[in-house]
A and B are shown apart, each in its own frame.
Chain A
Amino acid sequence: MTNGVAISVNTAQRLYWFGRYVQRAETMLKELVNSYDYVIDRDADEGKKLYAKLGVKIEYDNALDFLKQGVYGTYGGSVEQIISWARENAIESRHLLAERGFSTLNKIHNQLVAGRDHPVSPSNLEEIIDNCSLILGIFSTELDRTRGYQLIRFGQQIERFDLILRLYGEIEMVTVDIDVINTIARQLNRNYRPINVTTSDIPKFLIFLNNVVDRVILKDVCATKLTQSQGQ
């Protein structure tokens, strides 16, 4: 193995979570913009229904306030919070990230922090959605450290499936696409055991899905080997 291709457990976890949070931010922003129209046109409670699917209770006065709550709300998991988590993970793995992708994310973060006291408009959010897509696009084209990119992609896919299940309850969509995860995971770890969807119980499957990372990033194996050898 040559230098530079080795990825530590900590860095791998950062890349994985970076992929998850950018995907989560992009999806939630799209959902916010869609629901903004529904709040105006269909039902003022559409925004509450969206967040209820995620187990979050939010209150708002009107459509613009709904956006503000979605981006800056004090519950865990506002868009600002998700971007901040993505940035934290990017900071700790930036040695493997394309600079332009990192700076795009950091600019989104700075823009959100600077905009805390201002109204949020759908066009602001559409710009951030474009930038999130840009970030993930940059990594797919510029990152020359393949496994680093695969870890991001792996996180992205897990998050995608997680959100499909939580927001739409579409286990069939996940069943059809599950091999996307298996393919990436096998590239990342040759000892990976593929997964299948064997249940229609979504909460149960979500727990299973969120633990698949432990089959790829083996955070305890190295330390365990050490303990065993010291005990001999």
Chain B
Amino acid sequence: MIEPISPEYQKFYDIFENVDQSKVPKFKEFLEANAVNFNLFKDGNFIERSFPFDMIPRIIPKQEFDHLEAGIIQRVKALNAFLNDIYNDQKIVNDGVVPREYVDSAKAFLPEYMGVNPPKGIRTHISGIDLVKDAVSGDWVILEDNLRVPSGVSYPLTIRRALRHTYPEFFEQMKISKIKQYGEQLKAAMDYVNTGGLNVVLTPGRYNSAYYEHSYLAKITDATLANGDDLIVENDEVFLCSYNGERLRVGAIYRRLDDDFLDPEEFDKESLIGVRGLARAYRAGNVAVMNSIGNGVADDKGIYYFVPQMVKYYLNEEPILRNAPTYLPYYEKDREYILANIDKLVIKDVAEAGGYGVLFGNRLSPEKRAEIIEMILEEPRRWIAQEVIEFYDLPCMMEGGIVPRKADLRAYVIYGEEVSVSMGGLTRYAMEEGNYLVNSSQGGGFKDTWVVEL
């Protein structure tokens, strides 16, 4: 079902009818000419691919976005508080709000980091919060919190400029919130936690899906883009090896690789893309690592269930935004419900991400369903089940016309001296009709997101 047309959308269509639509293909040319890529790996092959873009933006009325913004900020503050708590006193566990088993068994929980506190107490410097708009209630629903290495922000930032150049009419005649300050906000957040020295964007390298973004973010923040072998650690301090032989102290690292690959001394010993000794420097408080090491415990799909309780526990507030109705097989009542209704639910493997490990109960064969039930009973902590949210489709220009496609929204949050939400975000849509998986790694496309005030 397509979202009903708001007055803000209507204004877009009124202008769109009168602009030169023959310029629409220029966006594809722009993305290809500039190699604005989200690369894919398929069957072990690296495929350089420009990120499919749809010209019709998602439009969110300003008032509606204000509500979203408040809810997202509230959520990220609670998640940051949770991480600080879980790596220190674990009050939330001791008070029985989050079961200890859920924390201890979270794959990304790193007990060896207990008592290690990052500069200024900030752990969730850059978050990507995934939401959909429920077509039944009309409410925004949070699907996922991404607190490790959320990607995607560079694409709306890049295309916004092209849109402004190609169709200034929209920006002249509509009050569309600006997003270009993201670079300044990110730089300010890096400066805020910087322990003295350079700001660095640490990339796994050219063959990462989001390499374009790493390069883009380094550019807009004036940070130095570095590969793992550009950095060294000496006396628990991190230095950039400058080309002229100088060693320059590094104060903040916006790392774009997972904990597992960050430091072969501490994590995966085979990692060739990390920085040996970085974890030592982080422990010693000599460098800010953005996002912090061990954040994965908070965006674990099982922990997601408890985020509304975290809001109440840490902030003493009612959650502004709601989760998708979620069931944990860990709880007997939930388990019984899941087993009885598996054909109506979405089953998710908590260890997977990027749209992988998501199973729709109604599409499973009886054999596969029996197999999943057995796995749930064997390893209840590994699974969650959610009601299928019938979220809105958005209009997309493809197949020679305008067709409906499922779309979500990733909102980007920067936690620096202040917590701010980018006044837009990445809208991702599925390529095929009826497909609920919109992830870029599943081949989905993107739209710009306009926050519009009439």
Contacts and interface: CB of A to CB of B under 8 A. Distances in A.
Interface in B172-226: 187, 198-199, 206, 211, 215-216, 218-219, 221-226
A216 B206 contact: no
Contact of A189 (B219, B229, B235, B244): B244
Contacts of B226: 8, 10-11
A14 to B, nearest CB: 10
The residue among A4, A6, A10, A99 with the most chain B CB atoms within 10 A of its own CB is: A6
A106 B247 CA distance: 33
Contacts of B235: 229
Contacts of A88: 206
B34 A99 contact: yes
B419 interface: no
B227 A8 contact: yes
Contacts of B9: none
Given A222-B239, A229-B234, A106 B227 contact: no
B403 interface: no
Contact of B33 (A1, A107, A188, A191): A107
A25 interface: no
Contacts of A11: 225-226, 230, 243
Given A6-B198, A106-B33, A226-B234, A12 B223 contact: no
B306 to A, nearest CB: 38
Interface residues of B, number: 34
A4 B35 CA distance: 23
B265 to A, nearest CB: 13
B166 to A, nearest CB: 15
Interface string A216-231: 1111011101100110
B241 interface: yes
Interface in A93-149: 94-96, 99, 102-103, 106-107, 110
A44 interface: no
Given A3-B223, A102-B34, A110-B32, A8 B215 contact: no
Interface string B259-300: 000000000000000000000000000000000000000000
A216 B244 contact: yes
Most buried by A among B35, B198, B247: B35
A6 B242 contact: yes
A226 B232 contact: yes
Contacts of A171: none
B78 to A, nearest CB: 32
B247 A7 contact: no
Contacts of B248: 1, 6
A6 B232 contact: no
A52 interface: no
Contacts of A217: 243-244
A188 B222 contact: no
Task: Decide if the interface of chain B is mainly helix, strand, loop or mixed.
Answer: mixed
A94 B215 contact: yes
A103 B33 contact: yes
Most chain A CB atoms below 10 A, which of B198, B216, B245, B248: B245
B216 A95 contact: yes
Given A8-B226, A226-B234, A218 B243 contact: yes
Nearest to B187: A3
Interface in A51-99: 88, 91-92, 94-96, 99
A222 B33 contact: no
A211 B213 CA distance: 33
A190 B243 CA distance: 12
Interface string B147-189: 0000000000000000000000000000000000000000100
A4 B223 contact: yes
Contacts of B245: 189, 191, 218, 221-222
A40 interface: no
A188 B245 CA distance: 11
B33 A110 contact: yes
A99 B248 CA distance: 27
Interface string A185-211: 000111100000000000000000000
Which of B206, B234, B235, B242 is most buried by chain A, counting CB atoms within 10 A of its CB?
A: B242
Interface of A: 1-4, 6-13, 88, 91-92, 94-96, 99, 102-103, 106-107, 110, 151, 188-191, 216-219, 221-223, 225-226, 229-230
Q: Which 4 A-B pairs have the closest CB atoms?
A: A222-B241, A4-B222, A12-B243, A8-B230
18 contacts: A3-B187, A3-B222, A6-B242, A7-B224, A9-B242, A11-B226, A91-B215, A92-B206, A102-B34, A103-B33, A107-B33, A191-B245, A216-B243, A216-B244, A219-B243, A221-B245, A222-B245, A223-B232
Given A9-B230, A9-B241, 12 more contacts: A1-B248, A3-B187, A9-B242, A91-B215, A94-B219, A96-B219, A110-B32, A188-B243, A189-B244, A217-B243, A222-B241, A229-B234
Interface of B: 32-35, 187, 198-199, 206, 211, 215-216, 218-219, 221-227, 229-230, 232, 234-235, 239-245, 247-248
